[in-house]
Amino acid sequence: MIRRLALALVICLLMGGSFAFGLYSGAERTAVFAVARDVKNRIQRIRTGEPAAPAVVKQPQFTRLYDAASIAKAQKENAPPANFLEWAGFYRMATSAEDLAGLEPLNAVLPPVIHDRLQPWARARIETTDGIADDTGQVCQPTGWFRATGYRSAFLWLPGQQKIVKVYREIETHGVQRIYLNRTHRPHLLPTWNGDSIGYWDGDTLVVDTIGFNDKSWLQSTMEPHTEETRVIQRIRQVRGGLYLEIHYVVEDRKALTSAYSYTRYFKRIGESMPETVCNEDLQLWRDYRTKALDRQLERARVVNE
């Protein structure tokens, strides 16, 4: 009995701390919620007599700079690797065991990881979303680059001393990410599909901080929404002698998510230039595909009106 009361007191204190930290996004907020959930689960196991859950391997924690002064200082004082300009080239996400060659992506299957962290309103939004009719990418409008980092993607990496340009193969939908190394985030950003990206070096790793997203895109093709509060931190470095770029992502959104989520992807360098890509070669096929989805929505609207 005393043990249960003690655990209950601990969880109350942690939940109170979680609420306070919940006013802010970042690693601290995520850690507090994680500890609180762990204690709550332990209490539940004690009550039901369930065996202890297997140990969870903790992912490395990185220092993330959010304030403009710290970012500007890092940009000024931290030098890039000597071979930084040699990172240029065309990269494709490694997904097969053969291409990964022993590399193990963190959270290779991403949608369940995101879904477990969605706020109730965001889960409800998915239920009312049509994956075809509501998908802006189906008509080659922008989709943002979130979906280009989940399960397949390719990009042309063009490094410079002051700016890096990352051109996605699906440029008509995923667009271009420009990473500025000589400035911090502009004040009063207008929300855009790909946000505002700035970068600084941490040893041989490029840290990219992106904010200023609009709320029109999905986090993945499984239709998870996000808000304009979304922030993405990418840590990019060469591995396997420069054959791969490893990108570690942390996605935060205090309005759409209960906590941040992270994942790692490996991109294999396969050439110097990006081949031509056509989004929509068969116009009639795409017209028919989308018309069927729109017809379903019109029929539902007709039933409701009647």
Measured CA to CA, the distance from residue 134 to residue 298 in angstroms comes to 13
Question: Tokens standing for 8?
Answer: 């209950």
On whether the pTM is more than 0.85, the answer is no
| Exposure string for 157-193, b = 16+ CB within 10 A, e = fewer | bbbeeebbebbbbbeebbbebebbbeebbeeeeeeeb
Helices (H), ranges, the chain: 2-21, 27-48, 68-77, 97-100, 111-115, 120-127, 283-305
Q: What is the CATH number of domain 69-271?
A: 2.40.128.20
Place of tokens 């017209």: 287
Q: Is the dihedral of CA 145, 148, 150, 156 positive or negative?
A: negative
Question: Tokens standing for 48?
Answer: 């039901």
Measure the N-to-C terminal CA separation of the chain; round to a whole number of Å: 59
Tens-binned pLDDT, residue by residue, of the chain (306 aa) = 555 545 444 444 444 443 333 333 333 333 333 333 443 444 344 344 444 433 333 456 787 888 999 999 999 999 999 999 999 999 999 999 999 999 999 999 999 999 999 999 999 999 999 888 888 887 778 888 888 887 788 999 999 999 999 999 888 788 899 999 999 999 999 999 999 999 999 999 999 999 999 999 999 999 999 999 999 999 999 999 999 999 999 999 999 999 999 999 999 999 987 777 666 666 676 677 667 767 776 776 666 666
Q: Is the dihedral of CA 168, 197, 194, 145 positive or negative?
A: positive
* CB count in 10 Å sphere of residue 122: 22
